[in-house]
Structure 1
Amino acid sequence: MTAMTSTLAPIAERAAPPATLTPPTAGGLTWRAATREDAPTWLALRNLIARADAEPYVETLEEIEEIFEGAWRDMAADSLLGFALSTGSGADGELVAWAQVERPPGDVTEVRAFCWGGVHPDRRGEGIGRELLAWETGRARQMLAASGKDVPARIGVFAEDDGPASKHRLYERAGFGVRRYYSDLARPLTGPDATPVPDVALSGSLRLVPWSKDLDEATRLAHNDAFRDHWGSQPQTREQWAQRAGFAPEWSFLVVDEAPDVDALLASPDTDPDTAAALRAGEPLVAGYELAARYTEDFAVRGYSFGYTDILGARRAYRGRKVALAALAAGMRAFAADGMERAALDVDTANPSGAHGLYASLGYVKTSGSRMFSIEL
């Protein structure tokens, strides 16, 4: 435990969890937890809100159904749907509000709980959103306290930079402050503004290969290593890693070291225990990766087709050897070969790896932005 965390009070005290949670009373809605059967109706409300707020994306049924797959989630306790009063048929009325809270299971050096929710545009101004956020925050405090992890803690919410100012004010009045900014970037793959995708030569025993299922666990280990020094990032468990709605394996590429210096890596204090165990077992070593996603439903929202680089990274021991650039370039070529008009990705504006400069040099420009508000505990 670091000096910083050793001075912290136990998480059960810092989180100050409420003994009970009270569903909102504003708006005269009836409330219950979300179930898998709600997925189509829930999706419809979420996308209606996204359109009303001019968000640069929509969601898919696959993404909503995936929420019910994670064993670390308890949707009976961590979700809430608000329905207008029914007409007496015994069925739920119209879904007009929703909330969900999640605590990622792999958190180690800090423990986090994230809140999501929304209210139908026609029902805003009734106080529903304020009370719903209070419920979410209370549930997040309960989840953090129950984690038993006596490390720094965070309750986070996200908002588009150009989203409703009322949403930003809602978060601020509830005690959340802006902590981080993110940029969505895109670059043309066709037309007069498209610059050539660079040819990247890899040195030594490094080889570019397509993503394959048998290398996916090695890729997870590479990702956890690559993002250890990124703000707000924590290791992903195997179950978290498996949740990848929209994943496009045909657009995803890895850089593998076919002859790693195992002794040097094992001797390095930067080599994490999971990687060390994999090296001792003779498992393959992924040095860098580009995992892409296909979000076809977003083409109409953005006004162009695109391939999306969902995550990109290089192991810390391999930085400076162009492994991430090689994987990214391979992904862009795959996008273009499938007729995509642009390549897109998002980046933390304070990314420590110099990613912004890399993307700018490749012709990526900002198309939209978002921010994270948080309560730090």
Structure 2
Amino acid sequence: MSHVAPQTLAPIAQRAQAPATLPVPEAGGLTWRPATSADAPAMLDLQNTMFEADRAPYRYTLAEVQDWFGAPWRDPATDSLLGLDADGVPRAFATVDSFPGDTRTVRSFLDGGVHPARRGEGIGREVLAWSLARARQKLAASGKDLPARILVYAEDDAPQAAHRLYERAGFRPVRYFSELRRDLAAPIPELELDGSLRLVPWSAELDDAARLAHNDSFRDHWGSEPRTPEAWVHGRSEFAPEWSFLVVDEAPDVAGLLADPETDPETAAALRAGAPLVVGHQLAGRYSEDWPVHGYTFGYTELLGARRAYRGRRIAVALLARAMRAFAADGMQYANLDVDTENPSGAHGLYASLGYEKVHGNRAYAIEL
């Protein structure tokens, strides 16, 4: 959907206040350079060491780290920073990311950290300053005169020093999320969909139709922006197609949907071309590296949604139930997912009714421009 920027907004190049040059960190006596794909194994070790020290409920795989370097819209030469000690071992890093499909709010995402043995030297503060400066440059260069946001995420129980660091840099907590789990030993509901709705396994042939369904499903969710085709298929190193399912309307009211002003242009074009209409999606991931950290095995629902015109038909419940059966058939003990605590579609009540319970929490910090 197109977005008309409010007339009161100054141009993004003005609001971003981008510096002409980036501040190179000096603390800790590290040597700084951009990261490359060859650094992925060392960056994996650095990040997992940080996660272990901070008791984070996850660990990365090498494929996940390599994914970051493989996105066609990212430029590691300008959007990453690696701090090396005298032995050439990475002790700190930063990445800044923006996505090509932002049409309502243009965003920059920050990630980074410092090895536990090198904390307390002021390195983190200077790495964050570099990241913020680069984020402002990227926002200014976007040319998108939209509301803008710089984002960083933190676990609720991360070290308090991390939370203080973000707040002192001007970030404010703007959203809270919960990781939920559901015991698969409990009975899983059986549900039949009505009318011409059919629940089917995920397939490559239906994947772009699922992207369109996702974009429609999430356009009223905070922080969500349309996924472009390239962004939709990227970052799937842990994707579990065997645990992923879609709902298709085999006889959609094409005329009614085309007449509906809420139908987005991409969906309208697909309908005119006679493409299948995916109306619900549940895409899952297999994060086996996280199982020992959690202390149990689980299947993870990455994305779950139903098109706005199809809400109220229990599509999400049917998808979750089908995914639970697939997880359980593979020997998983729990079904896990994350949810925005202020989700506008009533997701929290849905998950509670299915037996999900909170196990972790995290939050988004933002600087609004």
TM range, smaller chain: over 0.9
Aligned to 2:287: 295
Aligned to 1:241: 232
2:329 maps to amino acid: A
In 2, Cα distance between equivalents of 1:82 and 1:248 = 34
In 1, Cα distance between equivalents of 2:26 and 2:291 = 38
Aligned to 1:89: none
Where 1:185 maps in the other structure, the secondary structure is strand
Encode CA deviations 1:40-81: one digit per residue, 9 max, x unaligned: 000000000000000000011111111111111010000000
In 1, Cα distance between equivalents of 2:7 and 2:61 = 43
Where 2:6 maps in the other structure, the secondary structure is helix
Aligned to 2:53: 52
1:101 matched to 2:87? The reply is: no
Aligned to 1:81: 82
1:111 matched to 2:112? The reply is: no
1:370 maps to amino acid: N
In 2, Cα distance between equivalents of 1:326 and 1:178 = 34
Scaled by the length of structure 2, the TM-score of the pair is: 0.98
In 2, Cα distance between equivalents of 1:343 and 1:131 = 39
Change (3 A) 1:310 1:127: same
Change (3 A) 1:33 1:343: same
Q: Per-residue deviation at 1:2?
A: 7.0
Scaled by the length of structure 1, the TM-score of the pair is: 0.96
Q: Per-residue deviation at 1:27?
A: 0.3
Q: Per-residue deviation at 1:245?
A: 2.3
In 1, Cα distance between equivalents of 2:130 and 2:299 = 37
Root-mean-square deviation over aligned CA pairs? 1.0
- Unpaired segments ≥5 residues, structure 1: 87-92
In 1, Cα distance between equivalents of 2:145 and 2:157 = 36
In 2, Cα distance between equivalents of 1:327 and 1:213 = 18
1:179 matched to 2:174? The reply is: yes
In 2, Cα distance between equivalents of 1:3 and 1:273 = 16
Residue of 124, 129, 134 corresponding to 1:139? 134
Where 2:44 maps in the other structure, the secondary structure is helix
Contact 2:5-2:145 within 8 A present in 1 as well: no
1:228 matched to 2:180? The reply is: no
Q: Per-residue deviation at 1:22?
A: 2.1
In 2, Cα distance between equivalents of 1:211 and 1:58 = 26
Residue of 342, 353, 357 corresponding to 2:349? 357
In 2, Cα distance between equivalents of 1:224 and 1:297 = 29
- Unpaired segments ≥5 residues, structure 2: none
Aligned to 1:90: none
Aligned to 1:170: 165
Contact 2:3-2:103 within 8 A present in 1 as well: no
Q: Per-residue deviation at 1:201?
A: 1.3
Q: Per-residue deviation at 1:139?
A: 0.2
Q: Per-residue deviation at 1:151?
A: 0.5
1:256 matched to 2:245? The reply is: no
Aligned to 1:199: 190
Alignment of 1:337-348 (within 5 A): 337-348=329-340
Q: Per-residue deviation at 1:284?
A: 0.2
In 2, Cα distance between equivalents of 1:374 and 1:165 = 17
In 1, Cα distance between equivalents of 2:243 and 2:97 = 29
Change (3 A) 1:236 1:3: closer
1:170 maps to amino acid: L
Change (3 A) 1:34 1:233: same
In 1, Cα distance between equivalents of 2:4 and 2:72 = 33
Aligned to 1:306: 298
Aligned to 2:270: 278
In 2, Cα distance between equivalents of 1:70 and 1:162 = 30
Q: Matched residues, percent identical?
A: 65
Where 1:5 maps in the other structure, the secondary structure is coil
Contact 2:238-2:285 within 8 A present in 1 as well: yes
1:348 maps to amino acid: D
Aligned to 1:66: 67
Q: Per-residue deviation at 1:4?
A: 6.5
Contact 2:59-2:290 within 8 A present in 1 as well: yes
Alignment of 1:326-341 (within 5 A): 326-341=318-333
1:160 matched to 2:151? The reply is: no
Residue of 307, 316, 319 corresponding to 1:315? 307
In 2, Cα distance between equivalents of 1:302 and 1:268 = 45
Where 1:129 maps in the other structure, the secondary structure is helix
In 1, Cα distance between equivalents of 2:336 and 2:76 = 32
In 2, Cα distance between equivalents of 1:21 and 1:287 = 45
Contact 2:3-2:104 within 8 A present in 1 as well: no
Where 2:193 maps in the other structure, the secondary structure is coil
